[in-house]
Amino acid sequence: MHLDLSGKTALVTGSTQGIGEAIAVGLARAGARTAVNGRKPDAVDEAVARLREAVPGAEVVAAPGDVASAEGASALVDALPVVDVLVNNVGIFGSRPALEITDDEWRRYFEVNVLAAVRLTRAYLPGMRERGWGRVQYIASDSAVVIPAEMIHYGVSKTALLGVSRGFAKEAAGSGVTVNCVIAGPTRTGGVEDFVYELVDRSLPWDEAQREFMRLHRPQSLLGRLIEPEEIANLCTYLASPLASATTGAAVRVDGGYVDSIVP
């Protein structure tokens, strides 16, 4: 299976680390001109350097900016006016007792996890429709379907992305543009490693801590381990490719069987 994105420009938000960085690498390997985004210019430059090292000859663009703000998103669009593949990956998460989540925290999670994606879709989807080709993706989570008791604000924000994705897929109907949500399962990133140690004994070695976390807090997983970021990136790269032209309006799972359902 040859995934060819030559001649296409891809933007991955929040791509200076973790899942976002892995997706950027996957898209670059498929031949896309790839824009790396993050709030801190230094972190963006470092990620760009790593991507160029991982994919020699790749065309990589630094695209710093805080897409969680209207001003930051607008500045990014001005700097990168044409995007063929938009992967809305940026997001925040963290544990918090449900009754202690403040109004400001709820607003912050909605701004970062939902509105950032809405703003960029609103900016880039019209151009994709005019050109007759495009790909929009939203990185959701198993938490969108199985709301975690320890971070319901995060789960609800990801549930909202499922609706956002389906709605914009209808807006793009018949245009050659596909819009999909990727339901990522528990994935090993630096942030998740910190989160694991918030919930299990910090004195445990990582492999043991990971197993304990999955046993106690994610027992539904059929994989029995955390997913690697590259495994998420593989699906995103396929969905971005011309080969995925008939997949739109979908919530596609790469969750290690975590969601206990026989349908997506």
d(CA 57, CA 62): 15
Cα–Cα distance list, 205 to 132, 187, 210, 211 (Å): 51, 18, 9, 10
Using CB atoms within 10 Å of the CB of residue 211, give its burial: 0 to 12 exposed, 13 to 18 middle, 19+ buried. middle
Is 258 noted as a catalytic residue in this protein? no
| Catalytic-labelled residue, pool 154, 197, 238, 258 | 154
d(CA 181, CA 88): 9
Q: DSSP 3-state assignment of 135?
A: strand
> Which tokens in the block code for residue 170?
């209808």
User: Which residues lie below 8 Å from residue 203, measured CB to CB, with a gap of 6+?
Assistant: none
8 A C-beta contact, residue 182 and residue 252: yes
Positions marked catalytic: 154
